[in-house]
Structures are given as structure tokens and as C-alpha cells.
Chains A and B, each alone.
Chain A
Amino acid sequence: MAAVAPLLATQALSKYFGGLAAVRDVSLEVGQGEIRAIIGPNGAGKTTLVGMICGRHAPSAGTIRYEGRDVTRLRPWERLRLGIAYTFQVTSIFKGLTCYENVALPAQRALMRGLARRLAPGEAEVAARVRAALESVGLAELAGRRADELAYGHQRLLEIAMALATGPRLLILDEPTQGLAEGEIATLCELVRRIARQATVLLIEHNMQVVLALAGRVTVMEAGEILTEGTPAEIERHPEVQRAYLGR
């Protein structure tokens, strides 16, 4: 098999909160263009792990390599500029602002290079990017509405639009289907498939059907460590996984 460097590689990554090991010695590789699902029971360390990848938490030990470079010490905004985007498990948007403004903030980032452009990056260009992002998640008509007036499902889509507006190469979705109705979940799966044509997706999920439908590979975590990895079908049959997670 050709030795193509993985997009993302963590090496013995650990995070301790006081005496508690939230993540212990996790070495994970995600290849370009993959849709990788991370599953595991509550408290397995999934959110903490991706939190270290996107820069929310500093690791206690270990390294993270992205596109071949060591990003372990980089701050969250520096990682965003390299193309790592994250959506929160509990929706984190700008509730008091319109959908347009919500997406405009990330959209303008890439345009703000150089002093003059920082002040006036060209509102027309920003507007175009915002429109594109909102259209891709299907919220284009709601651009003028305040974010807190949106239904929960739409708020989650808005957050994804915000991440898309940054032009990510690695998109981390933390439980994106949580709280969504059936139809909304299907829409989301479609969206993720479309996104995956241009970006690598790392997906934390509890919904096994979504995992089976979307993921190319699955990483299973338990108690801060990687239990096993494989294709969704393999994972579904894996006895340890069934015990730990599916409760059989």
C-alpha cells in the first residue's frame, strides 16, 4: 500500500484533569478524505480527545501532527487557520446575532490578510461566502433571522455552516445528530457526505445507524483509551465493543 502520510496523526496523546485520566495514550491516524467516526460510552474521552486536536485543551502528554507538521503547541485560532474546524456538542453560536452575522464572522477570517484588508475585507466577498455556506446547509432563506429564533435542528445546521465558512480541511463534528428528528438526521447525513468530498471529517457519534451509514472507519474508545478500530461492519460485530458500548 502506498505510504501516504495521514492528514492527522496523534502520538501517545493524553490528558489528565487532576488525578483523572480523561484520555490516555491515544495514537490515532486519520487519512485524507476519510469519514472517521469515534464512538464510545459517555466519559470515554471522545470530546476531550477532539478538544485537544482542535486546541481547546492543551495535552498533558503526546503530540499531534497535522498535514505533516507538529501542531501540539498551536493555539486554537492558529489551528483554525490551518484548516481544523470544530462544532460543539452543545450548540455554541451567537444567539443574539442574525444567521448572516453568525456566518460572516468565520467567513471574513480568510479575507483578513494585511492591514487594509483587516478593516475592510470586501463586504461583497464576505456576503458571497456567507451565502454559499448557508446554502450548503439549506438555511439560505433564514439569513436575516436571529439565531435564537431558529429551531434547534436549524441551529445545529447553522453551526455547521459557520465551520464550513472557514474552508476547513479537517472538520470535527461533535455529536451532530444529538437532539435531531429523523428527517433532520437524514438531511445531516447527506450534508456530511457532500462535505466529505472536499474535507476530511472526524465525527463523534452515539447514533450507530449514522455511523454505519457515513463512516469509512470507526475508532472505538473506552475509559480514555482506544479499544479497537475497524470498518463499521467489523466494529458492529466486535465482541468487546458489544460489551462495552452496545451493552450486549
Chain B
Amino acid sequence: MSTGRKVLALHLAVLAALALLQFALPPYHHTNVARIMVLAGYAIGYNVLLGYTGLMSLGHAMFFAAGMYGAGLPVYYFGVGAPAAFGLGVASGTALALLFGLMALRTSGPSFLIVSMMFGQALFLVTLYFNDVTLGDQGFILSGKLAPLELAGARLAFEAPAVKYNLALAIFAGCLLAALALRVSALGRVLIGIRENEERTRLLGYDSFRYKLLALAVSGTLAAAAGAGYALLFSYVGSTFASILFSIYPLLWTLLGGIGTVLGPLLGTALMFYLVDTVSGITSSYLLFVGAALIALVLWFPLGVLGTLRGRWLPWLP
């Protein structure tokens, strides 16, 4: 089997496995895995920017939140249907990413990092400042306001676990396949060139600014899709999803799973989700564990699970 076919087969197999998993899971884990899949979409978006292009952002929650509020607010206030709300959420993320990119990509790496953190925090503050509309920290719930989805004649209520799971899977699949397609494409090659040696890439004929902007737009769009999906599927919209901590999570997840690998974010999100779940059962200071994990990872395991696997045994893994 050629490399290309092997790669595609692997990723489709992962999706198939996730699809089948829903029939084997008890209810508690059922919702968890649905959540993990949506959050993994967020991490995949983050990885496009960090893993492929080499740009670290500490404000990615702003794109997730743009998707979340972009979808949630129209539903809450105007009773907009789910597909349109999802579209609005995604569009908000793309628009924000382009706007942010046009301003921030003119700066170098460390400045970009700081500016992303500040903009992330500014959006977080905006959600708090316009408390009357966004209900700030407390957030708001969509259940009761969200009409069931009409799909091929069937009415799918969002409260049903099967609906949640499969729509989450659909969103994840979209993000995963988009990321894979980008990775193996000519565009992906340029992004990796920018990551490895930006000046060389410019002198080989590529306007690096444009490509970085593209990467940021894709990254923000995927993150917003996850955010919009999260709002619609799990029915809650709140400021915590715009906070700095929520910007740091995808970094942690991607690092654990393997920066620059396509499947890494899924693995990292899943592992961390359950690790944090376990730790917070033991102590309320689970953030200490998060901090220690980041330090440990970057010191001793910087390639992450799939990165290490790829280095040692599976060089064809994208």
C-alpha cells in the first residue's frame, strides 16, 4: 500500500473506530467522548498554527469563544436554527482570525505570542464587560431554545446522546480531514517550510505573510467550529471558554499528543481529559498538575506520544 493510501486508511479507521465506540460506551463516558471529540477539533485547529506553521499563540480561546458566542447568541436571543447558528459561529471565527492576523502577523515570534495573549484576554474581558448581553461568567444555557435538527426527514433533538455524539463526530471528522488535507498538500509544504526556515522559504518564492495568514485563518476557523459545536451540542455558553487557561489547554493537549502530527491533538485531548478528570477527583488544585505536566512534557517528552512514535517507528505518519 502506498504511503498516501496508508495515511488515509489510518485516519478513516480512527473515525470508524470512534463511530463504533458509541455503542460500547456507558452513558458517562459517552458524553465525555463527545466532548473530547469537539475539543480535539479545537486542538487540531491549534496544531495547524503551532505544529505546521511554527507559530505559538496563547490566545486561541478567542477563536473558540467567537464560535461559541457567534452560534450561541443568535440561538439564545433570536431562536436561530442550529445549522445557521453553526455557520455564524464559524464565520465569526474566520473573521476574527483574519482581523487578528492582519495586525499581529507583522510582529515576530515572541511579540506575536504576547499580542495573542493580550487579544485573547481582551475578548475575555469583552464577554464580561457586556454582561447584560453575554451573561458573563455565569453564561447561559441553550436547551429549550434550540429547535431540533431536521435532517433527511428525521427530527434530531440535541438532548439525545446519540445526536450529540454523532454530530460531535461529524465536527471532529471535518476538522481532522481538513487538517490532513492541508498537511499533505502543497500549501502544507509551504507552512512547514516557514516553520523550519522562514527566510529560506521567502527566498524560494513564497510570501510568508500570506501563508501565515492563511494558516491562522484555517486555525481560527477550526477552533470556531469546535466552539460553535460545543455551544450547540452541550448547550452552555460562558466566559470561561474565553479565558487564558482555555487558551493554554490546546497547547497542553497538542504537546502531549505530538505537535505537528495530525492525530496527536486527538490523543492528547483524550488523555488529558481523563487525567484531569482523575486528578480533580483527588484534589481541587488540579491546575498544579496541569502546570507540572507542561514542565515535564517540555523537559522530557517534547515530541509527545505520536511525535516519538513517528520518530522511532513510523516515519510515514503525517
> Using a CB–CB distance below 8 Å, which chain A residues touch chain B?
54-56, 75-77, 80-81, 85-86, 88, 92-97, 101, 104-106, 108-109, 111-112, 118-121, 126, 162, 166
Q: B152 near A: Cβ within 8 Å?
A: no
Instruction: With A54-B203, A80-B205, A109-B206 as known contacts, state yes or no: A97 contacts B186, CB within 8 Å.
Output: no
Q: Is B199 an interface residue (CB 8 A)?
A: yes
Contacts known (A93-B200, A94-B196); A119 close to B186, Cβ less than 8 A: yes
Q: Which of B187, B204, B207 contacts A106 (CB 8 A)?
A: B204
Report which of A56, A77, A81, A108 forms a contact with B189, defined as CB distance below 8 A: A108
Known contacts A76-B203, A77-B202, A106-B205; is A93 also within 8 Å of B197 by CB?
A: yes
Which of B185, B192, B206 interacts with A77 by CB under 8 Å?
B206
Q: Roughly how many angstroms separate A126 CA and B200 CA in the complex, as a whole number?
A: 19
CB distance from A14 to the nearest CB of B (A): 22
B205 touches A118 (CB 8 A): no
* Distance A172 CA – B300 CA, assembled complex (angstroms): 43
25 A-B contact pairs sorted by A residue (CB < 8 Å): A54-B203, A56-B199, A56-B203, A75-B207, A76-B202, A77-B205, A80-B203, A80-B204, A80-B205, A81-B205, A94-B193, A94-B196, A97-B192, A97-B196, A101-B192, A105-B193, A106-B204, A106-B205, A108-B186, A109-B205, A112-B186, A119-B185, A120-B185, A121-B186, A126-B186
Residues from 166 to 223 in B contacting A, C-beta threshold 8 Å: 181, 185-187, 189-190, 192-193, 196-197, 199-207
Chain B interface, >50% SS class? helix
- Given A94-B197, A108-B189, 5 more contacts at CB 8 Å? A80-B204, A95-B197, A118-B187, A119-B187, A120-B185
Q: Are B189 and A162 in contact (CB under 8 A)?
A: no
The chain B residues found within 8 Å of chain A, CB to CB, are 181, 185-187, 189-190, 192-193, 196-197, 199-207
User: Provided the pairs A54-B203, A109-B206 are in contact, do residues A92 and B186 lie with their beta carbons within 8 angstroms?
Assistant: no
Known: A104-B189, A119-B185. A92 touches B200 (CB 8 A): yes
- Of B181, B189, B192, B201, chain A has the most CB atoms within 10 Å of the CB of B189
Contact A101 B189 (CB under 8 A): yes
**Which of A55, A105, A120 is the most central at the interface, judged by chain B CB atoms within 10 Å of its CB?**
A105
A residues in contact with B187, CB < 8 Å: 118-119
CA distance in complex: A55, B202 (Å): 10
Do B207 and A77 touch across chains, with their CB atoms under 8 A apart? yes
Q: In the assembly, what is the distance between CA of A105 and CA of B185, in Å?
A: 11
From B200, B202, B206, A94 is in contact (CB under 8 Å) with B200
* Chain B residue at minimal CB-CB distance from A81: B205
8 Å CB contact of B199 from A85, A92, A104, A106: A92
Query: Judging by beta carbons under 8 Å apart, are B204 and A96 in contact?
Result: no
9 A-B pairs closest in CB distance: A80-B205, A109-B205, A106-B204, A94-B196, A105-B193, A92-B200, A77-B205, A76-B202, A108-B186
Q: Which residues of B have CB within 8 Å of A86?
A: 203
Tell me which residues across on chain B come within 8 A of A162, comparing CB atoms: 204
Contact across chains for B203 and A96 when beta carbons are under 8 A apart: no
Which single residue of chain B is at the shortest CB-CB distance from A121?
B186
Contacts of B196 in A (CB 8 A): 94-97
| Distance to closest chain A CB from B179 (angstroms) | 14
CB-defined contacts of B199 to chain A, threshold 8 Å: 56, 92
Contact among A77, A101, A126 for B203, CB-based, below 8 A: A77
Nearest A residue to B185 by beta-carbon distance? A119
